[in-house]
Amino acid sequence: MVNPAEIGVIGGSGFYSLFDEAEQVELSTPYGPPSDVITVGRIGSRTVAFIPRHGRDHRFPPHGIPYRANLWALRSLGVRQVLAPSAVGSLRAEHGPGVIVIPDQLVDRTTGRKQTFYDVSAAVHVPFADPYCPLGRSAAVATAKASGLDPVDGGTLVVIEGPRFSTRAESRWFSGNGWTIVGMTGHPEAILARELALCYTSISLITDHDAGVESGEGVTQDEVLSVFAANITRMRSLVSDTVQALPTDRTCPCARTLDGIKLPFDLP
């Protein structure tokens, strides 16, 4: 019997070595299987479940990730707090590759993704004005500062459909709106976590300046992967340290999201 995991990490394959000892768990959900088998282990005194967002062989493009299955599977294991490291592009000239951003706002520019669990039987409306857990954000920012990483505390992540990168015009529009970073996977993860009353914290590593920020040929996949690989060790350390800094008691609004709401089905 697998021990319940209190914290979930959704990230890339470079995060497997978070654990010294771990076990593999296969789960089914009402929304199909998650991206891959889930790895459950310990980081210090905390039990953690890790899902490779794109699958361990990177078979799921951003618009094809089984987001609902991933979040449902984590909750079914006992997870109530989620850390979501990811690679993003910068929309600000002053934030270059290697900078870590802990966003506090999100703009959804996706088009065809399922982004609710409550699309049958009954309408369930959850608050989403502040999409990220305030306690999770505080823990991530404090941990990054203590590690000497000088994170950007706050900012807006705009999530695009992908898998293509932005045009220069799109990128300039995003930047002109005052948004900070652009990515492809931060939504619907954030809203699905909220609909399950989970805490969700984004930890974003800038891998490039987006197409409209600097002149040149624009963003390439090789550039993104190269910068992320060069920073994976410190990102892994930041996630590991943040896991241990997360509160053991959830006093944030995320935990009370579903209070007083009649759900059309039972949650795991």
Q: What is the mean pLDDT of the chain?
A: 92
Report the sign of the C-alpha dihedral through residues 220, 141, 8, 21, in that order. Answer: positive
What mean pLDDT comes out for the span 26-42? 95
Q: Which residues contact 176 (CB under 8 A, 6 or more apart)?
A: none
What mean pLDDT comes out for the span 177-183? 97
pLDDT of residue 3: 62
What mean pLDDT comes out for the span 22-35? 94
Answer left, alpha or beta for residue 35, where phi above 0 means left and psi between -120 and 50 means alpha.
alpha
What mean pLDDT comes out for the span 119-125? 86
What mean pLDDT comes out for the span 180-206? 97
Calculate helix-pair angle for 221-245, 134-146, nearest 10 degrees: 100
CA–CA gap between residue 19 and residue 35 (Å, rounded): 19
* Three-state SS at 244: helix
Check whether 226 has a pLDDT greater than 60: yes
* Three-state SS at 70: helix
Name 176's bridge partners: none
Taking the CB of residue 180, how many other CB atoms lie within 10 A of it? 23
Check whether 16 has a pLDDT greater than 80: no
* Three-state SS at 112: coil
- CATH fold of 7-251 reads Rossmann fold (3.40.50)
Give percent of the chain with pLDDT exceeding 70.
Answer: 93
Taking the CB of residue 24, how many other CB atoms lie within 10 A of it? 10
pLDDT of residue 231: 77
Catalytic residue among 36, 104, 108, 208: 208
pLDDT of residue 219: 62
* Three-state SS at 156: strand
What mean pLDDT comes out for the span 223-250? 87
Catalytic residue among 210, 241, 249, 259: 210
Q: Residue 216 — pLDDT band, cuts 50, 70, 90?
A: low
pLDDT of residue 1: 41
pLDDT of residue 65: 97
Q: Residue 220 — pLDDT band, cuts 50, 70, 90?
A: low
Residue 249 falls in the annotated catalytic set = no
Tokens of 68: 């609902």
pLDDT in tens, 74-102: 999 999 999 999 999 999 999 999 999 99
Q: Residue 113 — pLDDT band, cuts 50, 70, 90?
A: very high
Q: How far is CA 171 from CA 29, 181, 226, 248, 266, in A?
A: 37, 10, 21, 39, 41
What mean pLDDT comes out for the span 151-156? 98
Residue 210 falls in the annotated catalytic set = yes
* Global pTM value: 0.94
Check whether 205 has a pLDDT greater than 80: yes
Note the residue count of the chain. 268
Q: Residue 211 — pLDDT band, cuts 50, 70, 90?
A: confident
The answer to whether the beta carbons of residues 196 and 72 sit under 8 Å apart is yes
